Amino acid sequence: MKIFKFGGASVKDAESVKNVSVVLQSQGFEKCLLVISAMGKTTNELEKVVEFYFKKQDYQTEIENIKQKHITISKGLFKDGHSVFTEINLFFDDIISFLRRTKSPNYNFVYDQVVSCGEMISTKIVSEYLNSMQFTNQWLDARDYIKTDNSYRDGIVNWKKTEELISALDRSVCYVTQGFIGSDDNNFTVTLGREGSDYSAAIFAYCLNADAVTIWKDVPGVMTGDPRKFNNVSLLSNISYEEAIEMAYYGASVIHPKTLQPLQQKNIPFYVKSFIDPTQEGTKVGVSEKNLHEESYILKENQTLLKISTRDFSFIAEDHMSLVFGYLSKYKIKVSLMQNSAISLALCLEDQFSKIDELNEELQKVFKTDVTKNVSLFTVRNAKIENIGKFYQEKSVLLEQIAKNTLQMVTQQN
């Protein structure tokens, strides 16, 4: 069975949805499961709805605007009176109904119940359109198959339950389902982390023992750098699982960090290809003698540099480290880079849930801290060490680290 994942950019409007059928025509649609993201910037727009709800601002106007965008897209795909228009109205009515009746003060819980609707609506539209184009498929609610704990906005997959449910699917049928979402034991929606649709594709692939996973992007494949940020980048046609995992960890946006581990466990090939020209080679991630180790550049922006030291200039000991990492876990703040000396600890952090101020307040009860927000982490993989001087030019470097052939530096954002 093949797993195809289409992100928001690939279904952003009616013409893009039509192009999905063009891609499938070129690739074959037999024994296929499609994982579809929310359309365009819908996730960002639904995040604003949640924000307005908690600020007691007018969120209903925002919901209506999002609904009208989906209706406009659907008018470019279906004739008036098609059942999909009723479905769209029902989904948005459900959002309003939920926000009116919920009393939960838990921002993350409310976020997951609302923002997940973007995937539900987009997959209904795409599934109905593909059926109308003779790409026969069944719409699947991913929440009935991907089971998680109740860590809202960052769900941890219950692999045993998930595999039992997904492995029972009929492999002779084609499916369209959602990325990014699962559900907990109470059947409340739980999202898998921002940009988690790639991870959803990997979960389905692992549980179905898929032949391959293909992620369809608006770039030719995995490049030696983001072409929007770096000049003279080239395609990496073949890379290993290990190299791809490292690149994703360091912040390569084309691959979600959690995606590759389940695929590597079962040696399932992973492709990144262009939905603009599906005939292009793209990138293959897997076991191959052709794997490349080219110098690659990754820029991870909107990071926070946190420097911690003891108040009495004593050593940073194991109990100090344990306390710090306990707080990081509590606030779900991820470490992008760590460097320690005898009396200090420097951490470059990814503050996904805007908790850095709360973390700092806790740490200041025990330590001296210094916080620098809005920094960037620049990473060079497979760096030619003899030429690294060029990477320091015109940069304000706050922290640097070299390990084997990887250069990393925390720099002040312009």
Predicted pLDDT of residue 389: 84
Write down the pLDDT at residue 414: 67
Can you give the pLDDT at residue 388? 82
Compute φ and ψ for 354, nearest 5 degrees: 55, 55
How do the pLDDT tens digits run along the chain, 414 residues long? Answer: 999 999 999 999 999 999 999 999 999 888 999 999 999 999 999 999 999 999 999 999 999 999 999 999 999 999 999 999 999 999 999 999 999 999 999 999 999 999 999 999 999 999 999 999 999 999 999 999 999 999 999 999 999 999 999 999 999 999 999 999 999 999 999 999 887 899 999 999 999 999 999 999 999 999 999 888 898 899 999 999 999 988 988 888 788 888 999 999 999 999 999 999 999 999 999 987 778 788 999 999 999 999 999 888 788 888 889 999 999 999 999 999 999 888 899 999 999 899 999 999 999 999 999 999 999 999 999 988 777 888 888 889 999 999 888 999 999 976
**pLDDT value, residue 387:** 78
Question: At the topology level of CATH, where does 2-217 sit?
Answer: Carbamate kinase (3.40.1160)
Q: What is the residue extent of each domain of the chain?
A: 2-217, 296-412
Can you give the pLDDT at residue 56?
96
Output the six-digit token pair for 112.
């997951």
Which CATH architecture describes the domain 296-412?
2-Layer Sandwich (3.30)
Q: pLDDT value at position 413?
A: 72
